Amino acid sequence: MFLAIKEIRHEKLRYGLIIGMIVLIGYLMFMLMGMMLGLANENTAAIDSWDAKSVVLNKNSNISLSQSLIAKQDLPNLNGHQALVGQTPAVIERAKGATDKQTIQFVGLDSSQFIYQKKMKLSSGHKPHGKNQVVLDEGLKSKGYLLGDQITLNGSTQKYRVVGFAKDAKLNIASIVYGSLTTWQTLKGTGDQFATSGIFSDQKQTVKNKNLKQYSIGTFIDKLPGYAAQNMTFEFMIAFLMVISLIVITVFLYILTMQKIPNYAVLRAQGIPAAYLIGATIGQAVILMVSGTLGALLLMIVSKAAMPSLVPMLINWPLTGILSLALVVLGVAGSLLPVRMISRIDPLDAMR
Amino acid sequence: MTAIELKNINKDYGTGISKVQVLSDVSFKAHSGELSLVLGPSGSGKSTFLTIAGGLQRPTSGQVLIDGQDISRFSEKQRDEIRLNQIGFVLQSYNLLSYLSVADQFALVDRVHKGNLSPDRLEKLLQELGIDQLVNKFPDELSGGQNQRVAIARALYTDPAIILADEPTAALDSERVKVVGRLMKERAKQYDKAVVVVTHDLRLKDFADRIYQIMDGKMTEQPLNA
């Protein structure tokens, strides 16, 4: 490390530029990952907050909650681990004042079941009591919705009072409005013929009805419209970026080491072992990669703080840690190419 | 006492019709406490001689004896150790790392020797060579003569028995040549080192205890006053 640190301290501009490049590559990767996770979270935040393990849907729904309808006669006997969820897209609008319409996902719940009782986390207000009260995603506060506001759904004359704001109330990148199953039936236009869109449970469920089918939550989430394609796109972007950054960093380290060969040849001529010089080169790669990665993390944190709330971005520290480690490890692995070159340095070059 | 001896050294480059014999039956002895000057024009084989003496390459045939051991038969790692502990190199390009201060040039050598080198010895060496005030300077802040003195100090720092110098005065004016020549002779006498200088700089003849001439790969000893 002695040679590595001394050289970096002496050649501040050169190594500053290299660290700057690593910072930018790392920053781009962290931001992409943050946005991927942010978007993914807005797809599934509500489902994640329910801690569900399985869902029962109409078998012809193509694993889509909004396409699923479960008739009353098909409804099994429910236990304490199951909850009915009636979901439909809708448009909300304040009954008075500014008319900022918002497309939302309406989720009707049964107040006696576990999602309503245990999983709905409010940031303010209280849970809806009765069919004319609703709880809104807290993100809708930024659109001007307040506690006590009267809203309408899909332009109907029926008014609903906003009695609370909920955390993690996002589904399919849209805000959720929690209300009753009766309201869901009204919005869906099904009357009381259909009881729900799906049955969520925090356990595996047994389905005996031939019209229904159980799915794991993983399968259900993967079939959310656009979810898998969007995530895979981001994952490929990050993977390509990792590969490209590895090549760029390797090329930089290779060129740097090439420039040092005359010096290293002199040191080899003096009997300084190749292993010492290899250690210095790998040490230098570690310092550059760790410094660059830390810089990228810092830049990401600052960017997240400065970013408008409209941009979905989520920092997942365990994943960020893994990505940081991968960046450092791959960068250091890139330094193994110049290491081969050092091990082959001919001390005779010092005399030429 | 003989510090290093080369016996019947031959060195060929290439094979077949492209074969070139660079050294032909060269025998040489360097004694402790003496400065041996090896003179020769460019292409005469004097650098090849020095690299074989220093264990940087193997001869085609012949022996290189240090402490009675033929180092030409040593592995690369063993020859590294010989160069690290028993041979000090002073090269034409001063062999200083541009990003290390004078103090750090010595710190690097000390680190490779795992901190076993004496700081008192270093201090004395720097004072004797008149570079003790330059320890915080970098090579590009020093004159050619100062750089050469640092290189000589570094070669002596590990207390090697043999100092091999390749054109140490190539870039120096006459005054500096005298300073470097005197320094190397004094080091040889004072510390009982075998100093071997290969050069085409005849100005160094005044400081030599023995003079050898290499011409077309053949080495002959010359009288001192020739």
Residue A320 belongs to domain spanning: 2-43+228-351
Q: What are the residues of chain B with a beta carbon less than 8 Å away from any beta carbon of chain A?
A: 47, 50-51, 54, 56-57, 77, 80-85, 87-89, 91, 93, 95, 97-100, 104, 107-109, 111-112, 138, 166
pLDDT digits (tens, 9 = 90+) for A45-88: 999 999 999 999 999 999 999 899 999 999 888 888 999 999 99
Judged against a pLDDT cut of 70, whether residue B226 lies above it is answered with no
pLDDT of residue A89: 94
CATH of the domain at B51: 3.40.50.300
> Which pLDDT band holds residue B94 (cuts at 50, 70, 90)?
low
Do A26 and A84 belong to one domain? Answer: no
pLDDT digits (tens, 9 = 90+) for A94-110: 888 766 788 999 999 99
Q: Which residues of A touch B83 (CB under 8 A)?
A: 269-271, 347
Element (H, E) at B34: none
Do A290 and A192 belong to one domain? Answer: no
Do A113 and A20 belong to one domain? Answer: no
B18 found inside a domain? yes
Q: Say how many domains are in chain A.
A: 2
Nearest Cα residue to A49 out of A58, A40, A41: A41
Mean pLDDT value across residues A159-170? 93
Do A59 and A30 belong to one domain? Answer: no
Judged against a pLDDT cut of 90, whether residue A320 lies above it is answered with yes
pLDDT of residue B149: 85
* Cα pseudo-dihedral A288, A289, A291, A294, rounded to 10: 170
B161 found inside a domain? no
pLDDT digits (tens, 9 = 90+) for B6-53: 999 999 988 888 888 899 999 999 999 999 999 988 888 888 999 999
Cα dihedral sign, A184-A180-A100-A308: negative
Q: What is the 3-state secondary structure (H, E, C) of chain A?
A: CHHHHHHHHHCHHHHHHHHHHHHHHHHHHHHHHHHHHHHHHHHHHHHHHHCCCEEEEECCCCCCHHHCCEEHHHCCCCCCCEEEEEEEEEEEEECCCCCCCEEEEEEEECCCCHHHHHHCCEEEECCCCCCCEEEEEHHHHHHCCCCCCEEEECCCCCEEEEEEEECCCEECCEEEEEEEHHHHHHHHCCHHHEEECEEEECCCCCCCCCCEEEEEHHHHHHCCCCHHHHHHHHHHHHHHHHHHHHHHHHHHHHHHHHHHHHHHHHHHHCCCCHHHHHHHHHHHHHHHHHHHHHHHHHHHHHHHHHCCCCCCCCCCHHHHHHHHHHHHHHHHHHCHHHHHHHHCCCHHHHHC
Judged against a pLDDT cut of 80, whether residue B95 lies above it is answered with no
> Which pLDDT band holds residue B158 (cuts at 50, 70, 90)?
confident
Please state, in angstroms and rounded to a whole number, the distance separating the CA atoms of residues A153 and A104.
10
> What ipTM, to 2 d.p.?
0.81
How open is the CA angle B27-B179-B118, to the nearest 5 degrees?
A: 80
Judged against a pLDDT cut of 70, whether residue A351 lies above it is answered with no
Mutation pick from A8, A349, A351, A352 vs chain B, by most beta carbons of B within 10 Å, is A351
Contact B57/A348, CB-based, under 8 Å?
yes
B214 found inside a domain? yes
Do A62 and A39 belong to one domain? Answer: no
Judged against a pLDDT cut of 90, whether residue B63 lies above it is answered with yes
Do A244 and A317 belong to one domain? Answer: yes
Contact A351/B85, CB-based, under 8 Å?
no
Do A110 and A20 belong to one domain? Answer: no
A48 found inside a domain? no
B91 found inside a domain? no
Q: Which residues of A touch B139 (CB under 8 A)?
A: none
Do A134 and A153 belong to one domain? Answer: yes
pLDDT digits (tens, 9 = 90+) for B190-225: 889 999 999 988 888 989 999 999 998 899 998 877
Q: Say how many domains are in chain B.
A: 1
pLDDT digits (tens, 9 = 90+) for A256-296: 878 888 888 888 888 888 889 999 888 998 999 999 999 99
Give me the total of CB pairs closer than 8 Å, taking one residue from chain A and one from chain B: 67
Do A92 and A180 belong to one domain? Answer: yes
Q: Which of A60-69, B59-68, B165-174 has the least mean pLDDT?
A: B165-174
Average pLDDT, chain B: 88
A211 found inside a domain? no
Contact B91/A350, CB-based, under 8 Å?
yes
B99 found inside a domain? no
**Amino acid letter, B105:** Q
B67 found inside a domain? yes
Output b/e per residue, B112-142; b: 16+ Cβ within 10 A: beeeebeeeebeebbebbebeebbebbbeeb
- Calculate how close chain B gets to A243, using CA atoms only, in Å: 32
A303 found inside a domain? yes
Contact A276/B112, CB-based, under 8 Å?
yes
- Calculate how close chain A gets to B159, using CA atoms only, in Å: 13
Contact A6/B82, CB-based, under 8 Å?
no
A49 found inside a domain? no
Contact B91/A6, CB-based, under 8 Å?
no
A32 found inside a domain? yes
pLDDT of residue B4: 93
Q: Which residues of A touch B111 (CB under 8 A)?
A: 2
- Calculate how close chain B gets to A257, using CA atoms only, in Å: 14
Residue B63 belongs to domain spanning: 1-84+195-226
**Amino acid letter, A1:** M
pLDDT of residue A92: 92
Please state, in angstroms and rounded to a whole number, the distance separating the CA atoms of residues A50 and A201.
9
Contact B95/A270, CB-based, under 8 Å?
yes
Contact A2/B107, CB-based, under 8 Å?
yes
A209 found inside a domain? no
Residue B18, token pair as written in the block:
């492209």
Contact A348/B81, CB-based, under 8 Å?
no
Provide the 10 A C-beta neighbour count for residue A343: 11
Do A264 and A289 belong to one domain? Answer: yes
Please state, in angstroms and rounded to a whole number, the distance separating the CA atoms of residues A106 and A125.
18
pLDDT of residue B34: 94
Judged against a pLDDT cut of 90, whether residue B67 lies above it is answered with no
Please state, in angstroms and rounded to a whole number, the distance separating the CA atoms of residues A44 and A172.
7
Average pLDDT, chain A: 89
pLDDT digits (tens, 9 = 90+) for A126-148: 999 988 899 999 989 888 899 99
Do A243 and A162 belong to one domain? Answer: no
